[in-house]
Amino acid sequence: MAQAASIGGEQHGPQGFWTKYVFSQDHKIIAMQYSSTAILVGVLGMVMSWVIRLQLGFPGQFDFISPSTYYQTITLHGMIMVVYLLTALLLGGFGNYFIPLMIGARDMAFPYLNMLSYWFYFLSVIVLLASFFVPGGPTGAGWTLYPPQSITAGTPGSGMGILVMLTSLVIFIVATTMGGLNYITTVLQLRAKGMTLMRMPLTVWGVFVASIIALLAFPALFVGGVMLLLDRVVGSSFFMPAVVSLGQQLDYKGGSPLLFQHLFWYFGHPEVYIVALPAFGLASDIISCHARKPIFGYRMMVWAIVAIGGISFTVWAHHMFVSGMNPYFGFFFASTTLVIAIPTAIKVYNWVLTLWGGSIRLVTPMLFAIGFVSTFLVGGLTGLFLGNVVVDIPLTDTYFVIAHFHLVMGVSAIMAIFAGIYQWFPKITGRMLSEGLGRLHFWVTFIGVYALFFPMHYLGFLGVPRRYFAYEGVNFIPPSAAGLNVFISVAALVTGAAQLVLLFNLAWSVFKGKKAEDNPWQATTLEWQTPHTPPRHGNWGAELPVVNRWAYDYSVPGAPQDYLPQNYETPAEQPQRAST
Amino acid sequence: MALAIVLVLIVVGAVAFHLWSPWWFTPLASNWGQIDMMLVVTIALTGVVFVAINLLIAYEIVRFRRRKKQTASYVHENSKLEWTLIVLTSIGVVALLAPGLFVYSEFVSPPPNAIVLEAVGQQWQWSFRLPGADGRLGRTNVRHIGTHNWFGIDPNDPYGQDDILVEDSEIHLPLGVPVKVLLRSKDVLHDFYVPQFRVKMDIVPGSVSSLWFTPTRTGTFDLVCAEYCGLGHYAMNGKVVVESPEAYQAWLSTNKDFAHELAEGASTPNAEKTPDDILIETGEHLAQAKGCLGCHTTDGRSSVGPTWKGLFGKQETLGDGTQVTVDGAYIKESIVDPTAKVVKGFPPAMPAFSQLTDEELKALVRYIQTLSDSPKDK
């Protein structure tokens, strides 16, 4: 059905079904495409986590889980969750939907590029899934893909699987680069009148700085991936010294496995902040809204985001403390890592101080936002162990690390995402999610993740190594640890099942949810002030908004209501504006 | 309200878990008690922060819950408070970093009187080398690895001749003597880790890394690989036996040196060996060379794959319940098509070795046969 669309004076040509809905250049539709793809692939990643926990909780009980399957599963689980779920959902999903709306723009600066970036992401997912069908199956090298093992015999998928994985990553990086260029340009160039940088909501700051980090960090993964591909395909020796693999002398010579690790982690550490910074931003805006209080220390929050972004490029080798690199590097990287804890701690204090003196309503998004703070706290604190090089030595490559990174990324970032979903579903769909199901989802998830991951730290204190298919030959582990593993597995399965509640809630509420008002949470940020809910193409109708205040005017003394939208003018402010 | 209660319960539960759960550091067996001290200090500091902030949040969501006719405060800046918090956090960071780096500086400085041990990692077993009477390890290169030279020692390096070779995954150490472990890999990344010693270090092919420790009590400790190295990573387990210096010396003299290893290869001229001897020898060397011993032991221990000890002639049950007698035909089939008849209880993890010649297959079968007790084999 072709129709001419007119928005704010701009004429569109007639749009067919394909241009309007499939190859859409509307940032909101692209955001939905990113989000649904990411969530679907994330569900696959979650099912994989169940397979891992089945093997660890009940070793030997499931014939279909061989060492090969196990290692392929942990690899795909990690890669899917970090890259294809979290990065895609936070930048491609949340970033795409909210940047134009929160800054008062009609769309991204480069809508066509935006559309392309989604389809490249989609292609990268297809290629990744294709690795299940190639001879030898997907790579089982661990999500970190370290050579020499990722490309030599003895590791699952070292034939074809690794090639497919690297190809998929290269395509993903193209998509992310396109996206990053878009988000940065849009924030810098398309802010509405009156929307200075220091009036932007922290969600935008989080995605903005994350995008800058992404453009600077992903290239390291790109070149590392290409060099690894070359080592595997043409026999170059970027990362390959002379080795004897399962009895065969290989032709490589002179390369350095550590070079790959430096390249990988130069990307890999900033990557976790690419995930964390948008999560921080979401949490700030949601906590502020539901405490009816401005975010505490907005300027400091912005500087903390920028500082974390900058310092994140100086800490990478804390992933390599026992890698065999020059041991003196340990002094430097331990210092920078513990320094980055300072701006991060400030953010935690400021969330807590935002709650102080507030008028807190514990609706589902707020529950998840507070859950984010609590789980980020424990995950971040364990970072202080791992960053302090000599304390890292007994703990690295044990379950302590697994507990740490799951809590900071797999739990707290996901909690922020859930908070965002519950917060903005009404704006995106025009309907409310079921509050009852939302609470059920929250309680099982929040208690479940603590049950799951808190005890895991103690397996790490014991010294239980990670990436083990089974622990039969290992005697120092007390038999009671087997019981603990059963407990953790059961908690994981129950917590995983609870996520189905959210999926059901989403599917049901899209059609049957209570109709939402334009601004059900009485929030100040611009996206809630659109003339229509859901926002239509062009977002603002005939006139772009004009911004008069910052993003956090909640409970302003003397104001007529307990929130002042960013484009709201008090009677006192009105006469100042000249006629349009 | 419920959230406040749950947060308090989480705090109480976490503290209780910490104090009363049975899972704690594996008892220390080395000089690295300072690492344990740093761990405890960090737990204390982070524990206090964890408890304080969660309890504060719990308090806030009760005290400042939404009530009719009560608005929130608009106060959202307090420079003094923020800078105080920054300073306090920085002090906390320094309080962790300073002692931590001090202990780390000891980690990177092995004592000059440390004895030297080389640990060699390969998929999926350990072997060890000691410098011998001349106190120096011979030069190595992966290109020298072959029959009678599994360590890849340069045969032309005089320092290598007296190197003591320990080819199984068990190493002994004398009590109370600091040891610097030099780490070398033949193939992929590995990691030398004994939880009771606390220290670990990756092993990187193409270079030599190291760590040091002083064993402080006798016992037998697990050596585990702590860097994912492929299918058999979880089965790459060795043992470190710490004993009195006398017992250690006794053990030391039971190991051969490189000169003897080389001589073995040259000694019995092939003319004096029977064809069967040569076949068995070839089989034994193939088992090492092709990586079979990475997953199959010869001493009865179960590993990634079934042990070869007592295998020939045995009745095995397959995954589908059928029985099979292990004979030459079954072994050959399992080498070239390993997933065809997998023994029950073992994963279908073995790669296919389809490029072996008939002679090589025959040699392997004959070697496996010699590992069964049946008298007719000898």
All structural domains of chain A? 27-239+253-473+486-566 (1.20.210.10)
Burial profile A485-505: b = 16 or more Cβ within 10 angstroms, e = fewer: beebbbbbbebbebbebbeeb
Q: Tell if the pTM clears 0.90, that is, is over it.
A: yes
Please tell me which of the candidates B14, B209, B232 has its beta carbon nearest to residue A454. Answer: B14
Please tell me which of the candidates A152, A155, A355 has its beta carbon nearest to residue B60. Answer: A355
Residue B143 sits in the same domain as residue B254: yes
A9 pLDDT higher than 50: no
pLDDT, residue B285, reads: 83
Residue B137 sits in the same domain as residue B255: yes
Give the closest residue to B38 by CA, choosing from B100, B93, B122: B100
Q: B-contacting residues of A 220-259, CB under 8 Å?
A: 241-247, 249, 254-258
- CB proximity list for A516: less than 8 A, separation 6 or greater: A426, A427, A429, A430, A431, A432, A533
Please tell me which of the candidates B24, B26, B64 has its beta carbon nearest to residue A355. Answer: B64
- Tens of pLDDT, residue by residue over A86-107, are 999 999 999 999 999 999 999 9
Please tell me which of the candidates B71, B96, B101 has its beta carbon nearest to residue A562. Answer: B71
Residue B275 sits in the same domain as residue B301: yes
Give the percent of chain A with pLDDT over 70: 97
Give the mutation candidate from B180, B200, B207 for the A interface (greatest A CB count, under 10 A). B200
Q: What is the ipTM of this complex?
A: 0.93
Residue B241 sits in the same domain as residue B310: no
pLDDT, residue B270, reads: 59
CA distance A128 to B84: 49
- Tens of pLDDT, residue by residue over B32-90, are 999 999 999 999 999 999 999 999 999 999 999 998 878 899 988 999 999 999 999 99
Residue B123 sits in the same domain as residue B252: yes
The verdict on residue B346 lying in a domain is yes
Residue B203 sits in the same domain as residue B226: yes
Domain ends where: B202, B234, B260? B260
Domain coverage including residue B86: 1-8+25-57+81-109
CATH number of the CATH domain containing B180: 2.60.40.420
Give the percent of chain A with pLDDT over 90: 90
Residue B121 sits in the same domain as residue B243: yes
pLDDT, residue A472, reads: 85
CATH number of the CATH domain containing B349: 1.10.760.10
The verdict on residue B308 lying in a domain is yes
Strands B170-174, B200-203: pairing kind: unpaired
Give the percent of chain B with pLDDT over 90: 69
The distance from CA B57 to its chain's CA centroid, rounded to whole angstroms, is: 43
C-beta atoms of B349 and A394 within 8 A: no
C-beta atoms of B38 and A557 within 8 A: no
The verdict on residue B316 lying in a domain is yes
- The secondary structure of residue A250, as a DSSP letter, is P
Closest-CA distance of chain A to residue B375, Å: 31
Please tell me which of the candidates A322, A359, A484 has its beta carbon nearest to residue B64. Answer: A359
Strands B179-185, B115-122: pairing kind: parallel
The verdict on residue B73 lying in a domain is no
Closest-CA distance of chain A to residue B350, Å: 9
C-beta atoms of B10 and A450 within 8 A: yes
B349 pLDDT higher than 80: no
Judged by a CB distance cut-off of 8 A, whether residue A64 touches chain B is no
Residue B282 sits in the same domain as residue B245: no
What's A407-444 look like in SS3?
HHHHHHHHHHHHHHHHHHHHHHHCECCCHHHHHHHHHH
Query: Which residue does chain B place closest to A557, by CA atoms?
Result: B74
pLDDT, residue A200, reads: 97
| Chain A residues close to B75, C-beta within 8 Å | 357
C-beta atoms of A256 and B206 within 8 A: yes
Domain count, chain B: 3
Residue B218 sits in the same domain as residue B282: no
C-beta atoms of A468 and B234 within 8 A: yes
Burial class (CB within 10 angstroms; exposed 0-12, middle 13-18, buried 19+) of A397? buried
Residue B152 sits in the same domain as residue B216: yes
Domain ends where: B91, B109, B127? B109
Q: Which helix (H) or strand (E) holds A365?
A: helix A364-387
| Chain B residues close to A388, C-beta within 8 Å | 38, 42, 96-97, 100
The verdict on residue B355 lying in a domain is yes
Closest-CA distance of chain B to residue A259, Å: 11
Closest-CA distance of chain B to residue A560, Å: 12
Residue B126 sits in the same domain as residue B248: yes
- Tens of pLDDT, residue by residue over A390-430, are 999 999 999 999 999 999 998 999 999 999 999 999 999 99
The verdict on residue B19 lying in a domain is no
The verdict on residue B163 lying in a domain is yes
The verdict on residue B343 lying in a domain is yes
Residue B252 sits in the same domain as residue B121: yes
